[in-house]
């Protein structure tokens, strides 16, 4: 039977209606994305801030954790007349602050609309509880929980770094952050920001046209919980770090301890440094920190480049032994120094002469190592001074000098080791020799190293020729040992000289006898680094025990003179504290001598290096 025209139209309209009804059913019942979009103007997201990851020391002591604080928020359009004095007293602020904030909200009311604003940041729990009790008296005001950094142990302020609220320049470069977020700015907080920060969550609420909360959207089913940041365990020994900070109080320099067998940094102190109390309120102290001539924000341990001084004699001695131009029994004279030209002399302190290698290390003889460097650089087996010097440079770089050690300490620098090309430019190719660079024999001249590299030298000597790159994060990352170009057997006379420097009888020439600790077999080397701008720097490296070493320490005290005077006792106290747990009564006087000293303003006085 033929279907009429009107019937076809009716059927077509019916099918179209069915499709529309089906689509409407799907949108409204099955898939409510469109419904949610329609509600967007009434849906409000309230941020849930994650707790930032905790930073621990090697023994599980929290160096940085979190404390709950509260931001007081206000939605200006919901505010009615209120008692400003009562609010000010409750929150512990000045009444003028309340008036100024409310005036600002009125001025920019169109821009603000129904948005909530932060009225007061990071109030403590006690203040929040006072506010919560009478919150009903202040319509439009509410509290939002935050986590703020807390420092339960005063250790490692420079290492830990600080967090602060993001600003406009930061947001332009990092669109993943939002106004009100906090970010690590320095130290671990900055270097490990991605791990520590966690992931924000949110609550979703429905609000009416007046921005008043009606209820939780979908009973919280669409809420997203915050993901806490990851905790980090460092290699730092909090108690040793704190003790070392006390030793370096009122001194300018660095104090570093390393576990030789693992390369783990036990302490890394830059002085003057930052107390954790300052970190907790960095904004309040920022101007004074920036203006402080001691530069407490500057991490000298990894960023300062110094001449290593006499501790570098050990490297030259090892190179001489490896190259065969030095033997343990070789003796050289010292006439209160070394005449490297007929009219120029590199001076030395008074001691017996001639002496062999072990005695030269023990007494820190300058002249001896001038002879050693001369024989290294003017070695006839090479085509000339330039080739021999390049070999010397390769040896030095194998000790980790001249490049960052990849320590995981933020902003680590690598120092400088001169190349032959430098002297070609200064003197002309073929027109220089050992006498031109003789100051390198005692760690002076065109050489710069960081205190961390000096500490690593201590670890290399303890291990007799190898090291694991110093690092400050304790994790399962595999770290391969790096070997110097020196045969382990060549370390024996150098270590013996270091042992005698500390443990020889009084009056026999040992330069580091203040570092002697009965039963610990400390091996050490003093250094006095020349400073053309003021008093010389005091330097000392050591490790202990001699066999199966457990700690290597380097101390560098600016403008403090002889290495034996200050760096030596400071480093030895660190060794004793770590290996024994306390300073024995017979050495308490030394501890007082160090902790009571103020070396920040040492009068200028040139001294002979040793």
Structure confidence by residue, pLDDT tens digits, 128-187? 999 999 999 999 999 988 888 899 988 988 889 888 888 889 888 998 888 888 898 888
Ordered DSSP codes for 438-459: GGGGGT-SS-BB-HHHHHHHHH
| pLDDT, tens digit (0-9, with 9 covering 90-100), for 448-461 | 999 999 999 999 99
Q: How far apart are CA 370 and CA 601, in angstroms?
A: 32
Q: In the structure, what pLDDT confidence band is assigned to residue 254 with cuts at 50, 70 and 90?
A: very high
Average pLDDT value for residue range 79-106 = 94
Contact 532, 444 (CB under 8 A): no
Average pLDDT value for residue range 89-95 = 95
Q: How far apart are CA 132 and CA 413, in angstroms?
A: 50
Asked whether this chain's domains 44-157+202-229 and 238-284+298-595 adopt the same fold, the reply is no
In CATH, the number for domain 44-157+202-229 is 3.90.1310.10
Q: In the structure, what pLDDT confidence band is assigned to residue 45 with cuts at 50, 70 and 90?
A: confident
Which CA distances in Å does 309 have to 316, 346, 347, 608?
A: 12, 13, 14, 11
Partners of 74 in the beta sheet? 117, 141
Judged by DSSP in three states, 259 sits in strand
Q: Which residues contact 365 (CB under 8 A, 6 or more apart)?
A: 332, 334, 348, 351, 355, 359
In CATH, the number for domain 238-284+298-595 is 3.40.710.10
| pLDDT, tens digit (0-9, with 9 covering 90-100), for 376-417 | 999 999 999 999 999 999 999 999 999 999 888 888 999 999
Contact 252, 559 (CB under 8 A): yes
pTM for the model stands at 0.85
Considering all CA atoms of the chain, what is the largest pairwise distance in Å, rounded to the nearest integer? 132
Per-domain residue ranges of the chain: 44-157+202-229, 238-284+298-595
Closest CA to 449 of 320, 263, 566, 315: 315
| pLDDT, tens digit (0-9, with 9 covering 90-100), for 460-505 | 999 999 999 999 999 888 899 999 999 999 999 999 999 999 999 8
| pLDDT, tens digit (0-9, with 9 covering 90-100), for 287-313 | 888 888 889 889 999 999 999 999 999
Q: In the structure, what pLDDT confidence band is assigned to residue 11 with cuts at 50, 70 and 90?
A: low
pLDDT at 210 over 60: no
Tokens of 170: 């930061």
pLDDT at 68 over 60: yes
Q: Is 404 exposed, middle or buried (0-12, 13-18, 19+ CB in 10 A)?
A: middle
Q: How far apart are CA 573 and CA 243, in angstroms?
A: 9
Residue 207: per-residue pLDDT: 67
Q: Is 467 left (phi over 0), alpha (psi -120 to 50) or beta?
A: beta
């Amino acid at each position: 039977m033929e279907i009429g025209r009107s019937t076809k139209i009716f059927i077509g309209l019916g099918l179209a209606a069915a499709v529309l009804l089906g689509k409407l059913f799907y949108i409204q019942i099955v898939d409510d994305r469109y419904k949610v979009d329609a509600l967007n103007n009434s849906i409000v997201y309230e941020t849930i801030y994650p707790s930032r990851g905790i930073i621990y020391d090697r023994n599980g002591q929290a160096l940085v954790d979190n404390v709950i604080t509260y931001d007081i928020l206000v939605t200006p359009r919901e505010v009615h007349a209120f008692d400003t004095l009562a609010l000010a007293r409750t929150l512990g602020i000045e009444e003028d602050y309340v008036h100024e904030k409310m005036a600002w909200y009125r001025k920019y009311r169109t821009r603000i609309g129904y948005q909530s604003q932060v009225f007061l940041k990071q109030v403590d729990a006690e203040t929040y509880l006072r506010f919560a009790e009478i919150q009903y008296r202040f319509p439009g005001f509410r509290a939002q929980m935050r986590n703020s950094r807390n420092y339960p142990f005063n250790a490692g302020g420079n290492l830990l770094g600080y967090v602060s609220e993001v600003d406009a320049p930061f947001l332009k470069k990092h669109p993943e952050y939002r106004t009100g977020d906090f970010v690590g700015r320095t130290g671990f907080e900055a270097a490990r920001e991605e791990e520590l920060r966690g992931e924000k969550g949110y609550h979703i609420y429905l609000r009416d046209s007046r921005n008043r909360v009606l209820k939780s959207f979908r009973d919280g089913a669409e809420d997203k919980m915050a993901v806490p940041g990851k905790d980090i365990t460092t290699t730092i020994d909090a108690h040793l770090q704190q003790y070392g900070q006390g030793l370096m109080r009122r001194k300018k320099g660095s104090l570093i301890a390393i576990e030789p067998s693992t390369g783990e940094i036990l302490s890394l102190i830059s002085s003057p440094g930052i107390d954790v109390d300052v970190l907790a309120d960095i904004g309040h102290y920022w101007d004074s920190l920036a203006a402080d001539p001691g530069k407490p924000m500057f991490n000298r341990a990894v960023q300062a480049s110094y001449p290593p001084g006499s501790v570098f004699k050990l490297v030259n001695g090892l190179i001489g032994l490896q190259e065969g131009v030095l033997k343990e029994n070789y003796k050289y004279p010292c006439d209160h120094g070394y005449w490297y030209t007929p009219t120029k002399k590199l001076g030395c302190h008074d001691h017996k002469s001639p002496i062999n290698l072990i005695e030269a290390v023990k007494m820190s003889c300058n002249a001896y190592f001038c002879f050693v460097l001369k024989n290294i650089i003017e070695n006839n087996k090479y085509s000339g001074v330039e080739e021999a010097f390049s070999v010397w440079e390769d040896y030095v770089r194998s000790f980790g000098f001249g490049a960052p050690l990849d320590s995981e300490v933020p902003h680590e620098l690598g120092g400088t080791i001169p190349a032959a090309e430098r002297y070609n430019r200064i003197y002309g190719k073929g027109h220089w020799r050992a006498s031109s660079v003789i100051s390198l024999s005692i760690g002076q001249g065109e050489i710069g190293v960081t205190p961390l590299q000096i500490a690593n030298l201590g670890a290399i000597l303890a291990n007799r020729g190898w090291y694991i790159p110093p690092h400050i994060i304790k994790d399962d990352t595999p770290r391969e040992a790096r070997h110097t170009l020196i045969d382990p057997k060549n370390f024996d006379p150098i270590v013996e000289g270091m042992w005698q420097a500390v443990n020889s009888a009084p009056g026999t020439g040992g330069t580091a006898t203040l570092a002697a600790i009965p039963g610990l077999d400390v091996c050490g080397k003093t250094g006095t680094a020349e400073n053309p701008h003021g008093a010389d720097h005091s330097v000392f490296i050591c490790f202990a025990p001699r066999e199966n070493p457990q700690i290597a320490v380097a101390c560098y005290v600016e403008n403090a003179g002889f290495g034996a005077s200050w760096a030596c006792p400071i480093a030895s106290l660190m060794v004793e504290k770590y290996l024994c747990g306390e300073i024995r009564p017979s050495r308490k006087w030394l501890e007082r001598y160090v902790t009571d000293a103020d070396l920040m303003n040492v009068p200028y006085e040139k001294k002979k290096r040793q």
